[in-house]
Copies of this chain bind each other. A is one copy, B any other.
Amino acid sequence: MSLRHAILALLTAEPMTGYDMAQHFDDAVAFLWSAPHSQIYPELRKMEAEGLVLAEEVPRGKRATKRLYSLTDQGREELGEWLAADEPYPPERDVHRLKTAYFELSDLENARRHFEAHLAHYRRRLDRWQEVLNSIYDRRHPLLRLRLSQWPEEAHDAIAGYKALAFEGEVARARAEIDWAERGLELVERLSGVDAVSR
């Protein structure tokens, strides 16, 4: 049930359309959650029916309209309850780690390929997260600027601080995965050395 809370949280910045939300989620740049539009639109309808958000049909061009969603008091309350609630920790389930545990059943070249891919993936991730993080540090990040503009000076350190912390967590994770993949490559080297000697 986190999609709806991610949506509520997004809407605290400003009213937006489902399409806008999908952009924020898809980029994965601006956000810590992710969802396709096929999940967002139905959820928004449900949330509207439950009174958590309010939809306003606003014109777009000449004939078309779009649905601009905003938070209701009830939505704000729901968000507050979610923030206060203990969050259960889902079981770990990492396909890459699982697969790695059985690489002895394939060959060294396959293992190397996978670790290289892991490395490449998390390097890209790291770059993107780091960029977002920098834009939070110097308060260039558009959504953040918008939020800050709505709050008094005293609140700014907290608002930016928590956002930065969240992304720092992702950055640290990416770094850890890079280190891990490098250890994986070292292991492959070691094993292929042994292999060569024993031949």
Contacts and interface: CB of A to CB of B under 8 A. Distances in A.
Given A158-B191, A187-B161, A198-B154, A170 B97 contact: yes
A183 B164 CA distance: 11
B168 A92 contact: no
A32 B169 contact: no
Nearest to A198: B154
Contacts of A157: 190-191, 194
A183 B169 CA distance: 10
Contacts of A100: 162, 165-166, 169
Interface stretch (A15-23, A44-52, A53-61, A171-179): A171-179
B82 A99 contact: yes
Given A2-B95, A117-B86, A102 B172 contact: no
A8 B121 CA distance: 27
B87 A102 contact: no
A93 interface: yes
A83 B176 CA distance: 23
Number of chain copies forming the complex: 2
Interface in A138-190: 154-155, 157-159, 161-163, 165-166, 168-170, 172-173, 176-177, 179-180, 183-184, 187, 190
Interface residues of A, number: 65
Interface in A6-26: 6, 9, 12
A93 B90 CA distance: 11
Contacts of A92: 28, 32, 34, 170
A33 to B, nearest CB: 5
Contacts of A169: 94, 97, 100, 177, 180
Given A32-B92, A80-B106, A99-B82, A183 B165 contact: yes
10 contacts: A6-B98, A9-B101, A32-B92, A80-B105, A83-B99, A83-B110, A100-B165, A154-B198, A157-B190, A172-B180
